[in-house]
Structure 1
Amino acid sequence: MKKKLVVLTGAGISAESGIKTFRDSDGLWEGHNVMDVATPEGWRKNPALVLDFYNQRRKQLKEVEPNLGHQILAELEKEFEVYIITQNVDDLHERAGSTNVLHLHGELLKVRSETNLNYILDWYEDLNFGDVDDDKNQLRPHIVWFGEDVPALDRALEITQSADFFAVIGTSLQVYPAAGLIDFTAREIPIFYIDPKPIKIPNLRNPLQVIPEVASKGVEIMRNKLRSFI
């Protein structure tokens, strides 16, 4: 039976493919204050801005490709039972070939009803005013905005608790509840932490291997270390 590798990924792995993050030094996301484009209040205040912002992100996504980090994680499915829990809203893990991907913060290529959380559609083009659900309610980006519940969290906790290995790749471990997943791992399992600027993880009970590299290089190092456990 294959060992279970659970991987929490953040913006750092997608940044190598050319997708900018909102945690750059200026605090902006593609020139926008995140409170204007990633909160329910921003949506109510200026929905046209929010629609245009995500339409532009959807177009940008078509212009980038998965990088080596994504590809190696997909290849690891040959040796491990791999589950990706990602904070990213892009589809680069899926395009690289990963088959078990859970999106904590929603998906850029989906939309949902303003009023019905379960009315979700695949969506690859622009989303406009007048695009509605079956009850004529406006559709919105299928993104978990700041201040909203994280529907996938329970499943993420369940996956994390059953891991034989846990990896954190390209995330600042500052955004909760995602950052708290590491505390739900079994006490004895190895944890790999890949980030060019790793922070200190307080109160960690597990054996930790820090790999201070960008995702693409760090994942390759992790793969070699994981093979020593097989």
Structure 2
Amino acid sequence: MTILVLAPHADDEVLGMGGTIARFANQGKRVVVAVLTGHGEDKHPLWEPAMWDRIRGEAKEACAGLGVADLLFRELPAACLDNVPAWRINQVVTSVLKEVQPEEVYIPFSHDLHQDHHAIAYAATVACRPYLEMGRQVKRVLAYETLSETHLAPPYLVPPFQPNVFVDISDSLEKKLDAMRRYASQLQADHLPRSIEALRALARVRGTHIGVEAAEAFVLLRESI
């Protein structure tokens, strides 16, 4: 089985489902991670190109530790997707699906606070339409939760993240945490969301939902049998 994880930014794959990626890789499944944003083709208004060299180096180390088979990078401009036409984002995401040919696709939660997450989730939903030839090949589409983004949107204005699929990561939690440590440029102090302690705490809470030591949670968006 080939599994595709769409990450708006490098580290979203670890935050959202690092333990699940490690579990799948250990089971012999082919996991491909696609980091869809970076500096962009033009001058970025916020960050210099050198920053992306560092972050992408960290991503390579983190994903190698999780057992990712292939790590792809694309050049949509990070934090600027509200200024990129939807057709262009859709085109990039569709090209990744055509290249990878996955049976399962994991995407960010559409109602995350970060606009980039919403744009990528929308593009993935468009690309995975089940009546299209490519969409028929994708048997499951799930959304992962990302600390620092998923739980910050106003709960009475947009649907909250209410998971209905849980993956036991008791045996792979430490691999997830080790992968996050590789993102030294993104790692935060223990009282902040993108931290080792926050990831451990969330995994423990999600584990209690299914009676295990640690878990990751997802929303099943579509399943074709």
State the TM-score, normalized to the length of structure 2: 0.39
State the TM-score, normalized to the length of structure 1: 0.38
| Max Rg structure | 1
Choose between structure 1 and 2: higher helix proportion: 2
